[in-house]
Each structure stands twice: as structure tokens, then as C-alpha cells.
Amino acid sequence: MPGESPHILVIGYGNPGRGDDAAGWLVAEAIERQWGNAVEVQTLHQLDVVIAEQLSDFDLVVFVDAEITDAPNGRSLARISPSDELQDVTHTITPQSVLGLGRSLYNVEPEAYLTGVYGHRFDFGAEITKETARDIKRAVSEINRLIESKRLASTPL
């Protein structure tokens, strides 16, 4: 609705006790410090089917996860779409499938993005690697720009 701030949800997920897998949480916490109550921030060990029910409360959803990738700069924030091609649900679920459940069960389809932060060390108790720490900054910066642009777009001229 024009003039109303967009409802934004940022979900950082992963295991904060396992080295670079904490990246999702660290990005989400940085966003929370930056935006306070203007953005809903959740930190989760893993995604859950229950999130699908919450999607109707938000205009924009950003998922942040650590990702084992060859790209040292991680995976830039990218728009994602709901997936109905869910083969199976294990105890966890992908962001696209969460969106797919939201569309199928609740007829909601918020604008959604995913960023994968570069990670390569996942041992229990391991420190965040320098490369991941650097890529966390990249992810925070990209998400901040996205939030700013959405809020700007909703501001009446």
C-alpha cells in the first residue's frame, strides 16, 4: 500500500556453533542492529514448514544461508520463486519450497530473495574464516541496499 512501510522479513539460518555455518545468523543480526523494529529478523537452525504460514504477513522476505561454493564472493542476492517441485521434505526445507508451500496452502507470494554466504569450514566450534567474514559484509551491504530501495519506493512523493 503506498505510503505504508513494506513489511520485511529477514531469515538467517544455519548452525551458529559450526564455523562458517553461523554466517546466516551473523548477517541477520547485523540487519537487526541496523534496522531495529523496521525489519522482522529471525535466526533459525534450519528452515521449517511453519514459515510458510507467516509469509502472508510480509511483502518482502530475504533468506540468508552459508553455502559451500567455489565462488569466494558467495552468491549475490538474487530473486527466487516458489517451487512446486518439492520432491520430499526432510526435517528441513529449501527457501523455494517454503515459498511454494506459502503459495499452495495460503495463496501468498511475497517478493523473495536468497543470498548464499561463502563458507568452507563447518567444524564444531570453529572460528568464522576470514573469507566468510568478508562475504558477510557483502551480504549485509546488499540486503541493506535492498531494504532501502523498498522503503524508498513506498515513501510518498
Partner 1 sequence: MTDTTLTTPIVINPVTRIEGHAKITIHLDEAGDVDCARFHVVEFRGFEKFCEGRYFAELPEITSRICGICPVSHILASAKACDTIIGAELSDTARLLRELMHMGQLAQSHALSFFHLSSPDMLLGFDSDPALRNIMGVIAKHPEIARKGIRLRKFGQEVIRHVGGRRIHAESAVPGGMNHALTEDARKELLAGLPEAMETTKFAQDLLNRYLDENKEETSEFASFKTNYLALVQPDGSLEHYHGRLRFVDSEGKVITDQIRCEDYLEFIGEASEDWSYLKFPYMKNLGYPKGMYRVGPLARLNAINKIPTPRANEAFREWRQRSSGTQSSSFHYHAARLIEIVYALERIQAILDNPKVTSLDVCRPGRVKNQEGIGCIEAPRGTLFHNYWVDEQGRVEKVNLIVATGNNNMAMNEAVTRVARRYVKPDKLEEGMLNRVEAAIRCYDPCLSCSTHAIGRMPMKLELIAPGGEIIDSLVRDNT
Q: What are the residues binding partner 1 (CB under 8 A)?
A: 15-18, 21, 44-46, 48-50, 52-53, 84-92, 100-101, 104-106, 122-125
Of 139, 131, 82, the closest CA to residue 109 belongs to 82
Identity of the amino acid at 15:
N
Q: Closer to partner 1 by CB, 85 or 156: give it.
A: 85
Provide DSSP, 136-150. Answer: HHHHHHHHHHHHHHH
Q: Closer to partner 1 by CB, 45 or 134: give it.
A: 45
- Residue ranges of the alpha helices (H) in the chain? 23-35, 51-54, 95-106, 130-154
> What is the nearest approach in angstroms of partner 1 to the Cβ of residue 80?
16
Q: Closer to partner 1 by CB, 79 or 91: give it.
A: 91
Given a contact cutoff of 8 angstroms between Cβ atoms, the answer to whether 51 and 15 are in contact is no
Grid cell locating 63: 533468506
User: Alpha-carbon torsion 66, 71, 77, 81, what sign?
Assistant: negative
Q: Closer to partner 1 by CB, 78 or 106: give it.
A: 106
Which residues in 49-138 belong to E strands, given as ranges?
A: 60-68, 75-79, 111-119
> What is the nearest approach in angstroms of partner 1 to the Cβ of residue 117?
15
Q: Closer to partner 1 by CB, 39 or 98: give it.
A: 98
> What is the nearest approach in angstroms of partner 1 to the Cβ of residue 97?
8
> What is the nearest approach in angstroms of partner 1 to the Cβ of residue 44?
6
> What is the nearest approach in angstroms of partner 1 to the Cβ of residue 69?
14
